[in-house]
Amino acid sequence: MQAAYSLRRRLLAWLLIATAVIGCIALIDTYREAVRTANTVSDRVLAGSALAIAERVVVAEDGSLQVDIPYVALEMLTSAAQDRVFYRVDGPPGQFITGYQNLPSLTDTDGQTAAYADAEFRGEPIRIAALQRSASTGIKSVPFVVTVAETTIARRQLTQAILLRSALRLVTMILGAAAIVWVAVTFSLRPLYRLSDAIAERNPGDLHPIRQSVPREVEGLVETVNSFMVRLQSALDALRHFSGNASHQLRTPLAIIRTQLTLSARATTLEEAQHAARKGDEAVAHAERILAQLLLMAKIDAAGSQKPEPPDIIDLVRLARQMTGERVPGAGDAGMDLGFEGEGEALIRAAPLLIEELLRNLIENAIAYAGRGAEVTVRVKTAGAKVLLDVEDNGPGIPLAERQVARQRFARGGRGEAPGMGLGLPIVEEIAGLFGGHLTLGDGPDGKGLKASISFPAAGST
């Protein structure tokens, strides 16, 4: 299981990352806008000063240009902040008239409007406005350029103020959104807490569907849990049924053993006591067999519910031949002719021990129910991608109508003379199922008796 994470933290993280990214973009945009605004406002003032100076430029009698700097116009600028103001006035190209000679100027000014530029002067960033005009004597006009510059402290302060306020607004918004998410998640998760309380309060045996109202997003989960509980209920029912049946089955031989023990205790002759002991021993064997079948059933159930380890490849011909061979003498004693048919190899993927149990159950059924004089044949053959196993006899068989029932757990035919508890065929069916096989019950040779067939996928075919 992965380490648990907090939904709330995740949502918050997403929200914060997303708003931080969007916020940064917005801040960059705001910064640009602020710079532009601050420049526009201050540039206008700068141009006004340049214009005021330009109006004071006159042509002297000797034809040279003269300026009477209106310091008030420049004061308009300096009052703004600690900014320093510089100016220069130039006559026709190459002719410096007054002001700061080192102040950079602009050459490509057009006639009417001022031109602006950023530059550096005395180690400080400055903003320059240059205005081109001409002074006229009436006879000739003399062009000149007025350059006014100021340091950019006021502009920077304005930009920073705008930026700071937007940043503050943004942070407030993000924090507000985070708080909203926190509260909203708390409220939205409430139905889930109620759901978990409702489940926790149940008593362990209560597997009724959950009827709690939950958000639509969680409905699927609740439905899954409900259907799981239905399956759990039926598994539990099956288990109860199974253990009830199993203990019931065990009681019969135990009762017989007790009776026989009592009888032997009361026996007056040795023969009587020996007879009771023999009967008791048979009952113990019966109980043993029941326990073996029950254990096997439990083993198969466990194998079915665990992830199976990859089964071995086994040769069914060899295994079935060997198992049949071992039982030939016993079948002979019971007056039956047990035989094997099959050649070569027939490989299947399966656990050998379980396949042995499958074979044992089928062969024992045939020996137990086919009756004296019957012929029993175990046959293995390969048909395409299938390996077929048949166990057939020419005894009384199972009537068609009862075949389906005979495959259920604890179902026994009317011929209950042989000791058993009705687990054989279900065991066969389930073992076959574990390895991709399928059990069919048909008629034996010449329509007599029973033929139990299982088709397994051949190993190698997938």
Ligand X SMILES: Nc1ncnc2c1ncn2[C@@H]1O[C@H](COP(=O)(O)OP(=O)(O)OP(=O)(O)O)[C@@H](O)[C@H]1O
CA 18 to CA 25: how far, in whole Å?
Answer: 11
Given 10, 36, 415, 438, the residue binding ligand X (CB under 6 A): 415
Q: Residue 65 or residue 336: which is nearer to ligand X going by CB? A: 336
Given 99, 311, 342, 424, the residue binding ligand X (CB under 6 A): 424
Q: Which two tokens stand for residue 248?
A: 């019931």
Given 23, 91, 422, 437, the residue binding ligand X (CB under 6 A): 422
Q: Residue 56 or residue 412: which is nearer to ligand X going by CB? A: 412
**What binding mask, one character per residue, do residues 358-377 give for ligand X by CB under 6 A, x or -?**
---x---xx--xx-------
Interface segment toward ligand X; rule CB under 6 A; list 19-27, 81-89, 301-309, 391-399: 391-399
CB 108 within 8 A of CB 143: no
Q: Is 421 in the site for ligand X (CB under 6 A)?
A: yes
Which of ligand X, Mg ion, none does residue 415 bind (CB under 5 to 8 Å by kind)?
A: ligand X
Which of Mg ion, ligand X, none does residue 300 bind (CB under 5 to 8 Å by kind)?
A: none
Report phi then psi at 186, rounded to 5.
Answer: -55, -45
Report which residue's Cβ sits closest to Mg ion.
424
Interface segment toward ligand X; rule CB under 6 A; list 20-28, 109-117, 228-236, 406-414: 406-414
> Closest Cα partner for 65 from 140, 166, 172?
140
Q: Is 342 in the site for ligand X (CB under 6 A)?
A: no
Interface segment toward Mg ion; rule CB under 5 A; list 81-89, 240-248, 324-332, 365-373: 365-373
Q: Is 253 in the site for ligand X (CB under 6 A)?
A: no
Q: Where are the beta strands (DSSP E) in 69-210?
A: 85-90, 96-99, 115-121, 124-136, 141-151
Cβ count near 334 (within 10 Å): 16
- Cβ of residue 398: shortest distance to ligand X, in angstroms? 5
CB 77 within 8 A of CB 49: yes
- Cβ of residue 376: shortest distance to ligand X, in angstroms? 8
CB-based contacts of 153-160 (< 8 A; 24+ apart in sequence): 153/81, 153/82, 153/83, 154/42, 154/80, 154/81, 154/83, 155/35, 155/38, 155/39, 155/42, 155/127, 157/81, 158/34, 158/37, 158/38, 158/41, 159/31, 159/34, 159/35, 159/38
Which of ligand X, Mg ion, none does residue 10 bind (CB under 5 to 8 Å by kind)?
A: none
Interface segment toward Mg ion; rule CB under 5 A; list 70-78, 157-165, 221-229, 418-426: 418-426
CA 351 to CA 435: how far, in whole Å?
Answer: 8
Tell me which residues in 440-459 interact with ligand X (CB under 6 A).
450
Given 30, 147, 293, 365, the residue binding Mg ion (CB under 5 A): 365
Q: Residue 177 or residue 297: which is nearer to Mg ion going by CB? A: 297
Tell me which residues in 159-218 interact with ligand X (CB under 6 A).
none
Q: What is the DSSP letter of 398?
A: -
Count the site residues for Mg ion by CB under 5 A.
2
CA 337 to CA 397: how far, in whole Å?
Answer: 16
Q: In which residue are the tokens 């166990």 written?
A: 391
CA 288 to CA 15: how far, in whole Å?
Answer: 68
Tell me which residues in 24-43 interact with ligand X (CB under 6 A).
none
Report phi then psi at 104, rounded to 5.
Answer: -65, 145
For β-strands 313-315 and 124-136, DSSP reports them as unpaired
Question: What 3-state class would DSSP assign to 391?
Answer: strand
Tell me which residues in 274-293 interact with ligand X (CB under 6 A).
293
Instruction: By CB under 6 A, name the binding residues for ligand X.
Output: 293, 361, 365-366, 369-370, 393, 395-398, 406, 411-413, 415, 420-425, 450
